[in-house]
Structure 1
């Protein structure tokens, strides 16, 4: 398997500068850029298989959102918020200088893409929202909040993979080798084995969400969704507990009237490794 080029860009936050790392696949001179943004507790190498599949047509860029992967951790956990991530991505896009920009975002990465694509004058020409929408089901937030930020150390990559599978089985069927490939970039060495790559403080904002804040956030996300002017593809795991079927159907009827594709046997969220998942996104992105 080929390896990506690894880069980083300096971004401005409330406490000064921080470094955001990203992996890049395909021709570095290609003016057609596809940005792939990961979920809450994941990192950009989740997209290795998908990025390679798309690198014949795009320069594919997969950032590690700040606090994850090879990116810096923030001194103030209050900075781990979608508007701040959108700001970081604006800096990244300035670096990339794309003539044509498409966005694929899984879960949190979809919300970042939604925020970016809804801005007046946004460069996002096509948007793929992978198992996320303006309404995030409370049961999923509780499930994710139960493990994000929890301490964990494992004596081997295989042991870590077993743990990560126990909290991620909703990703759908994967071979052992596929799961180990997804696991390795999630880890960093420590004194007695391996620990997770991300700042545990990314959970602070998640656990601070009140019902009132959730309702206000939902209204703001619907407003952003209704402001979209780009073609939008909505992917949904048929068993998803985060994106309900009702919300997904509503997204096909308002705003950009997203095209909905569901994947059977998958919950939250499709990993875009299965050939059928890759094909659905590729067909949408490359259509005239």
Structure 2
């Protein structure tokens, strides 16, 4: 079984320096590099199964976006925004000393990938967007915002696992073992022995400040970014997703990079990419 190495890189925000941790799989000398970036409150460990499946072909890099997992928290929560995350990823790619990367981004990780792939001289040469696009569904964002920032604590890991399972039902069917991992990856035990989430509750500051006008402005900018992308792009959509509509996915096949779309049946937001069939969808596209 392949083993990951835990590394970190120092990044800069307007409020100061912070450390971003990342998991590295495969041969560190392999110039063919895949960066996998998780969703809003998730962590690098989400990609363990995908990384293990691809680490013979790629050097696989899975960062904990700042404010999550093993990474530092930002001093000013107003900087928990895509532009900060993009800057951190540019620093990470510079640390890796590679000219270009392939990218898999789930939800927020896809937004970061879109923004980076849209830039002139981008290092992103192949892009997988997992259940995310330029069109933002305000009610879906509100649903996610309902639990982000709540300082929930659990007496046992089992209670935490059940909570994660309930708020993540849109992930679709998973075995009990898979649910335990999906929960354990995002939970930690505090000094009092309680279990709590491995992200900065202040992530909610920017999310809860969003207005319908903010969402509309963000959509306009995201469509402009999407239209500027010209690398091969795969769009994975959960068939029951409330964040990425079928209409939006269809529009993404007609403009910008004209993404190829694959729908995952029985799943909402977002496919976890731990199932062998979902991994094959990504693997076949990346290695085509």
**TM-score, reference length from structure 2:** 0.98
* Structure 1 position 231 matched with structure 2 position 232: yes
Residue matched to 1:260: 261
1:11 aligned to 2:11? Answer: yes
Instruction: State the alpha-carbon separation in 2 of the partners of residues 165 and 187 from structure 1.
Output: 12
- The CA deviation at 1:185 is 2.0
Query: How many angstroms does 1:98 deviate by?
Result: 2.0
In structure 1, the partner of 2:222 is 221
Query: What are the superposed Cα offsets for residues 222-272 of structure 1, whole Å, 9 maximum, x if unpaired?
Result: 000000010000000000000000000000000000000000000000000
How far is the alpha carbon of 1:99 from its aligned partner? 4.1
Alignment pair present for 1:39 and 2:42: no
1:20 Cα shift? 0.2
SS in 2 for 1:140: helix
| Alignment deviations for residues 134-159 of structure 1 (CA, whole Å, 9 cap, x no partner) | 01111211110111111111122221
Gaps of 5+ in 1: none
After superposition, what is the alpha-carbon deviation per residue over 1:29-60, rounded to whole angstroms, capped at 9, x for unaligned?
A: 11000000000011111111111011110000
Stretches (4+) displaced over 6 A: none
Contact 2:24 2:59 in 1 (8 A): yes
Partner in structure 1 of residue 29 of structure 2: 29
1:126 CA drift (Å) = 0.2
1:118 is matched with which residue? Answer: 118
Superposed CA RMSD in Å reads 0.9
**CA displacement at 1:3 relative to structure 2:** 3.3
Please give the TM-score of this superposition, normalised by the length of structure 1. Answer: 0.98
Matches within 5 A, 1:57-136: 57-136=57-136
Structure 1, 12-21 or 93-102: larger mean CA deviation: 93-102
Q: Distance in 1 between matches of 2:240 and 2:97?
A: 38
Distance across 2 between alignment mates of 1:153 and 1:3? 31
Q: Is the 8 A contact 1:141 1:242 kept in 2?
A: yes
Cα separation, 1, equivalents of 2:146 and 2:236: 25
